[in-house]
């Protein structure tokens, strides 16, 4: 199957594991991710969930937004404010991208081999950061939209 920008449209269940290699702490986030088409034909990605931090015995509501657009590489991802984040080819053998945000470095590897289930693995390093974040996305079936968190 050829994966294109519009292939992501819809509601996804999301499960994220964050492993802080510097402190040894682990956190999880569970929630939903919705990709919806905007007036320009781009996809608005909206993630919402609950971040659980067991070591701190705390949970937080979390959300973030990005904008995805088709481009020559395949898909270009932008921050909510329009700044470029990264681009990747979803049909490459091992889709990946890097983003430098001095003094930190972000590297992502996407896995689409079990489509429509897919994942994004981020490795983040810097003077005060050293963590791996793995997010798994599973398409929600029709009729489940009212169950979104």
Domains of the chain, with CATH numbers? 11-137 (2.40.128.20)
* Stronger pLDDT, 123 or 145, i.e. the higher one: 123
**Contact indicator for 148, 11 with CB cutoff of 8 Å:** yes
149 pLDDT more than 80: no
Maximum Cα–Cα distance across the chain: 46
142 — pLDDT class (breaks 50, 70, 90): low
Helix residue ranges, H only, 19-102: none
Residues in the chain: 149
At 146 the pLDDT is: 46
**Contact indicator for 90, 75 with CB cutoff of 8 Å:** yes
pLDDT in tens, 23-68: 999 999 999 999 999 999 999 999 999 999 987 788 999 999 999 9
Per-chain mean pLDDT for the chain: 93
CA 62 to chain CA centroid, nearest Å: 13
Segment 118-137 mean pLDDT: 97
This model's pTM is above 0.85: yes
pLDDT in tens, 95-104: 999 999 999 9
Distances from the Cα of 50 to the Cα of 8, 16, 61, 108, angstroms: 22, 10, 5, 22
48-65: b or e for each residue (b if 16 or more CB lie within 10 Å)? Answer: bbebbeeeeeeeeeeeee
At 54 the pLDDT is: 81
């Amino acid at each position: 199957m050829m994966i294109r920008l519009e292939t992501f449209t819809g509601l996804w269940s999301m499960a994220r594991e964050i492993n802080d290699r510097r402190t040894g702490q682990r956190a999880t986030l569970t929630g939903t991710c919705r990709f919806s088409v905007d007036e320009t034909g781009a996809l608005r990605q909206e993630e919402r969930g609950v971040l659980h931090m067991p070591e701190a015995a705390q949970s937080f509501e979390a959300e973030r937004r990005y904008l995805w657009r088709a481009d020559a590489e395949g898909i270009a991802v932008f921050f909510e404010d329009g700044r470029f984040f990264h681009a990747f080819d979803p049909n490459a053998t091992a889709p990946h991208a890097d983003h430098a945000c001095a003094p930190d470095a972000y590297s992502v590897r996407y896995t689409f081999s079990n489509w429509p289930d897919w994942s994004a693995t981020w490795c983040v390093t810097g003077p005060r950061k050293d963590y791996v974040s793995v997010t798994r996305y599973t398409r929600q079936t029709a009729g489940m939209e009212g169950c979104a968190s």
